[in-house]
Structure 1
Amino acid sequence: MADKGDIGWRLVAGAAAFAGGFVAKKAITMAWKKSTGKEPPTNPESPDVALREAIGWAVIMGVGMEVARLLATRAAARQWAKGTGKSPYELKSEV
């Protein structure tokens, strides 16, 4: 069974990833609008959306969201280590 530190870290990491993703989606959407002059595709799978636009949106969103999640989780891990004095269990490197 997981201890309280493990559960606490999972909650903190999940919240950080969610917040990072939320901010990233807003930022990526705004950058898309500014660079293309139009709204991003709401349904890239639709045949009405140009293939180039659908692929571009998928790549930018995929990479952007993953980078945001990674950065948010790493920042949360740093704060967790400062607050608890030890690294989160899942991020410990095996020796």
Structure 2
Amino acid sequence: MADRGDMGWRVTAAGAAFAGGWVARKAITAAWKKSTGKEPPTNPESPDVALREALAWAVLMGVGMEVARLLATRAAARQWAKGTGKAPEHFRADV
């Protein structure tokens, strides 16, 4: 069963990942609009969206969201370690 520290970390990590994803989605959408001059596809699966555009959007969102999640979780782990004096359990090299 998870102890309080583990549950606290899970909540912190989830919040960081959510916030990082939200910011990334806004930034990626703005970059798409600026570079293409149009809105990103709302439904890339639709046959009305060009395959090239759908693939570009999927790759950009997939990579961008994962990078944002990774960076946000790492930043949260650093802050967690500063506040508690130790890294979250599964982040420590000695585990």
Q: TM-score range by the shorter chain?
A: over 0.9
For 2:43 and 2:2, locate their aligned partners in 1 and report how far apart those are by CA, in whole Å: 40
Deviation at 1:94, TM superposition (A): 4.6
The code of the aligned residue for 1:35 comes to S
Moved over 6 A (4+): none
Two-structure CA RMSD over aligned residues (Å)? 0.9
Q: Using the alignment, how far apart are the partners of 2:33 and 2:94 within structure 1?
A: 44
**Identity among equivalent pairs (%):** 80
Give 1:1-95 correspondences, 5 Å limit. 1-94=1-94
Segments of structure 1 that go 5 or more residues without pairing to the other structure are: none
Q: If the length of structure 2 is used for normalisation, what is the TM-score?
A: 0.97
Unaligned runs of 5+ in 2: none
Deviations 1:1-32 (A, max 9, x none): 11100000000000000000000000000000
Matched AA of 2:78: R
